[in-house]
Structure 1
Amino acid sequence: MELSIECLSKRFGSKIAVNNISVTLQPGVYGLLGANGAGKTTLMRMVCDVLKPTSGRILYNGKEIEQLGEHYRSYLGYLPQDFGYYPDFTAKEYLNFIAAIKGIDTVTAKKQITELLKIVNLSDVAEKKIRTFSGGMKQRLGIAQAVINDPHILVLDEPTAGLDPKERMRFRNLIAELAKDKIVILSTHIVSDIDYIADDILMMKKGSLILNCSTEKAIHSMDGKVWNCKLLQSQINEVSERFRVVNLHHEQGNEVLLRVVSDTQPMCGAVNVPPTLDDLYLYHFQDEEIRRDEE
């Protein structure tokens, strides 16, 4: 199983949303990381054949998805940022509706729905209307509808946005369980979601792919660039203006411990510490909107 993206670009008027991206994906979890406006959703919509590229092509097992048409879409599972649902449907009614749209026969659909409701921990509310669900419950229902056809390619666009830490943890575990033998593309700017479950990192910035490697290699690319600095409270502003501060911790007295991302030693006495994916993100997106995990 292979999904190939070749020289893919998308323009909206004079704006380049996706700029000449090429990457080959095989079974595994790919974390598509980037700030808001990086082009992640546009890329995902093209992968799902919802949006046509301006140039370039996407191939599934060597054949262009445009030629495969409905056959390709039968291999897809897609959870957009805001998936559509009917609030007065029950969870079971909604999944039956999605199964019918995807051409799944009644007997198979009934079995699949019962199993999926167990997997996403919604069996006890299967007969309740979706409008009564919490955000986390709706997202879990969204996952169920995305995998009801047992897709080969699973695309998840900002699946944990707005969820509390407990729901995010449950959701990550669910994705990891469902990801076996699939190409899973998890698009997000919540760094911890990628850190926990992604095998590889795809990082986008201003429409371009700036990083494509294993999660471990991505983190190690920051070796020697992350520092702990102990300084006085009065020095914080000066250091913050000159360097990228990941976080700070107030210690006893008037001292503060700063975690700083810098190519060179930011100040005398600063010591290198092991990097994290959060450090990598800040290194590349310090001037853009950053949303970090606070678990």
Structure 2
Amino acid sequence: MELQLRNLSKQYGTKCAVDNVNAKLEPGVYGLLGANGAGKTTLMRMICGVLKPTSGDIRLNGKTINELGEQYYTHLGYMPQDFGFYPDFTAREFMLYMAAVKGLDKRVAKTRTQDLLHMVNLDDVADKKIKSYSGGMKQRLGIAQVELNNPSILILDEPTAGLDPKERVRFRNLISDFAKEKIVILSTHIVSDVSYIADTILLMKNGSFLLQEPMATVTDNIRGKVWEILVDERNADEYSRKFSVVNLHHENNKVRLRIIDEIAPMDDAIAVSPSLEDLFLYHFGEETREGK
């Protein structure tokens, strides 16, 4: 299976939300990373057929979305950032309703609903109303409904936003379980969500891909640019103003600073192995500091 994005652009008046994106995606988990406003959601909505591109096209196994028509959507499972539930439905009622919307046979829908609610650990509350669910339970129900038609392409837009660390770990594990032999695009600005499960990182900024790299080599281009130094507390603010500090840790009367810079910030700076978070802050540090 191959999903191709070819010269894909989306224009809103004078603003270019997605700018000439090209990618060739095969089964695996793709972490779509970028700051808010990078174009991630617009790109995913185009892949899902919710938005029409201004130019370019999307192809599945060589055929465009238009050529495939309704057949394309049988391959697709989409979980938008603001996923709507019917609060007075139980989880089971909601799943059966969504199965009907997706055109599943009633007998298949019943079995699939039971299996998926068990997989996401909701079978013991399957007959309770969704309005009584926690945020993590609702997100697990969301991923269960996405899987109803056993799609070969999963599109997940900020699926762990608002979850506590324990629920985020549980959700990441679910995605890993569901991802076998599928194309999974997981959009987020929470770096840890993809650092453990992504096979490939798609780093997006200002509507374009800055890089498309396997997880194993994605930080290679900032190797030798990440440093740690230990300074007196009174000097920490000065270094923070002068350099791009991505982390600091107080140790007795000293402060350990993690800095991204082309050259060593001081003679006794130690070069350290870069992380995915370092890479993200290298490209988006100014935006995240300014709250953009």
TM-score by length of 1: 0.97
Contact persistence 1:91–1:141 (CA under 8 A): yes
Q: Matches of residues 31-46 of structure 1 in structure 2 within 5 Å?
A: 31-46=31-46
Identity %: 60
Identify the residue that residue 237 of structure 1 maps to in structure 2. Answer: 237
Identify the residue that residue 205 of structure 1 maps to in structure 2. Answer: 205
Identify the residue that residue 154 of structure 1 maps to in structure 2. Answer: 154
**Structure 1: which 5+ residue stretches go unaligned?**
none
SS at match of 1:23: strand
Asked if residue 281 in structure 1 is aligned to residue 280 in structure 2, the reply is yes
- What letter corresponds to residue 168 of structure 1 in structure 2? R
- What letter corresponds to residue 159 of structure 2 in structure 1? P
Q: Matches of residues 84-103 of structure 1 in structure 2 within 5 Å?
A: 84-103=84-103
Identify the residue that residue 2 of structure 1 maps to in structure 2. Answer: 2
Deviation at 1:222, TM superposition (A): 2.0
TM-score by length of 2: 0.98
Q: In 2, Cα distance between the equivalents of 1:51 and 1:168? A: 29
Asked if residue 132 in structure 1 is aligned to residue 165 in structure 2, the reply is no
- What letter corresponds to residue 46 of structure 2 in structure 1? M
Q: In 2, Cα distance between the equivalents of 1:114 and 1:210? A: 42
Contact persistence 1:282–1:290 (CA under 8 A): no
- What letter corresponds to residue 63 of structure 1 in structure 2? K
Q: In 2, Cα distance between the equivalents of 1:290 and 1:186? A: 24
- CA RMSD after TM alignment: 1.0
Identify the residue that residue 261 of structure 1 maps to in structure 2. Answer: 260
Contact persistence 1:35–1:290 (CA under 8 A): no
**Structure 2: which 5+ residue stretches go unaligned?**
none
- What letter corresponds to residue 237 of structure 2 in structure 1? N
Q: In 2, Cα distance between the equivalents of 1:221 and 1:111? A: 48
Contact persistence 1:36–1:289 (CA under 8 A): no
- What letter corresponds to residue 96 of structure 1 in structure 2? L
Deviation at 1:241, TM superposition (A): 1.3
1:36-67 C-alpha deviation (Å, 9 max, x unpaired):
00000000000000100000000000000122
Identify the residue that residue 106 of structure 1 maps to in structure 2. Answer: 106
State how many pairs are aligned. Answer: 290
1:84-117 C-alpha deviation (Å, 9 max, x unpaired):
1110000000000000000000010111001000
SS at match of 2:262: coil
- What letter corresponds to residue 289 of structure 1 in structure 2? T
Distance 1:30 1:290, change over 3 A: farther
Deviation at 1:290, TM superposition (A): 6.5
SS at match of 2:4: strand
- What letter corresponds to residue 283 of structure 1 in structure 2? Y
